[in-house]
Amino acid sequence: MKYFDTHIHFFPDKLAGKALPRLREISQCETFSDGTRAGTLNNMEKWGCAGGMALHIATNAHQQTSVNDFAKESQHDNIYCFGSVYPFAENALEELRRIKDMGLYGIKLHPDYQEFFIGDDAAMPIYEEAERLGLTIAFHTGRDPYSPHLVHCPPDVLGKIADLFPRLTIIAAHMGGMEMPQEAAKHLVGKKNVYFDTAFASHFLNAQELTELIHLHGADKVLFATDCPWSTLPDEKALLDAADLTESEREQIAYRNAERLFGITV
C-alpha cells in the first residue's frame, strides 16, 4: 500500500534550529524530525512514504512573501506545497492570487498561531477569493496546545463557513477537530466540500472513534496525514490499520483521495 502524507511541516534550514525547539516548548509535544526539508524527506523515505504535502503558515503580514517563496522553492520531486496568507494583511488577497500563479496547491490557515477566529469578518474575503481562485484551504481545526482553552476554529463555525462558500474546498485537519470528535460528527460530516485528514489522530482518537468518523463522513473524503514533525507515519498508519475498513477504503485514504483532490500521481 502506498501512503501520501497530506499534512507535513518543515522550515528553511536557517530557521529550523530555532523554530522547532520554540514550538516544542510551547506545545509540550515531542517532535520526530529536525524541521528541515531534507530531514523530513529522510524520515519519509525511512517510513516508506511516497510523498507529502507541506503546509506552510504565515504568522504575520511580513512573513507572507518569504513563506510562499519558500513553499515554491520547496515544491519539487515528491514534495508539494500549500502557501499561506495572514488574514489581516493589507495585501492578503493579492498574495492569494500570487499563490495561485505560483502553482501552489492551496493555503494553510492556523487560526491559533495567526490569532484570529475563523468567523471574523476580516477572514471572509479570504474565503471568497480562495473559492473564486479554486484554492483549497486547510484549517487547523479544534483544539491546539498553543491555545488549549480558546478554540479559534471550532467545527460548528467551520461548518457554517462550508455552507456559506459551497464551492470552496476545505480540509478540516485533525479529523474535523482535534480533541473534538463529537463536534466534528455533529457539524461537519456529510458536507460535500469538506475533507478530513488524519493528522495527529493517533494522539486523541482510538480505532473505534476513527472508524465511526470515517464511516459517517465517507472514506472518499478522508486524507491520510501525520502532522510531521509532531507525529509519525508508523503511528498514524497503526491507527488506520486498526480501524474497521475495507481494503478499498484504506486505499482511498492512503493516497487515492489525495491524487484526485490535488490532481497528482503518487
Of 145, 208, 156, whose CA–CA distance to 179 is shortest?
A: 145
Residue 112: band (very low, low, confident or very high) from pLDDT cuts 50, 70, 90: very high
DSSP 162-183: HHHSTTS-EEETTTTSBT-HHH
Name the residue ranges covered by the structural domains of the chain. 4-262
- Both ends of the chain: CA-CA distance in Å? 11
Q: What's the Cα-to-Cα distance from 209 to each of 167, 203, 230, rounded to whole Å? A: 29, 12, 21
CB 103 within 8 A of CB 132: no
Q: What is the CATH number of domain 4-262?
A: 3.20.20.140
Amino acid 13: pLDDT: 92
Q: What is the DSSP letter of 122?
A: G
Amino acid 17: pLDDT: 86
pTM of the model: 0.97
Place of cell 472518499: 220
Of 115, 107, 117, 173, whose CA–CA distance to 140 is shortest?
A: 173
- Write out pLDDT tens, residues 186-206: 999 999 999 999 999 999 999
Q: How many CB atoms lie within 10 A of CB 163?
A: 10
**Neighbour-count burial for 61-96, b at 16+ CB within 10 Å, e otherwise:** bebbeebbebbbebbeeebbbbbbbbbebeebbebb
Q: How many CB atoms lie within 10 A of CB 119?
A: 17
- 83: Cβ contacts below 8 Å, ≥ 6 apart: 56, 58, 67, 68, 71, 72, 95, 99, 102, 104, 106, 107, 108
- Write out pLDDT tens, residues 127-172: 999 999 999 999 999 999 888 889 999 999 999 999 999 999 999 9
Amino acid 145: pLDDT: 87
- Write out pLDDT tens, residues 19-44: 888 888 877 788 899 999 999 999 99
C-alpha to C-alpha distance for 158 and 162, rounded to whole angstroms: 6
Amino acid 250: pLDDT: 98
- Write out pLDDT tens, residues 58-85: 999 999 999 999 999 999 999 999 999 9
C-alpha to C-alpha distance for 193 and 96, rounded to whole angstroms: 20
The set of cell numbers assigned to 173 is 485537519
- Write out pLDDT tens, residues 205-251: 999 999 999 999 999 999 999 999 999 999 999 999 999 999 999 99
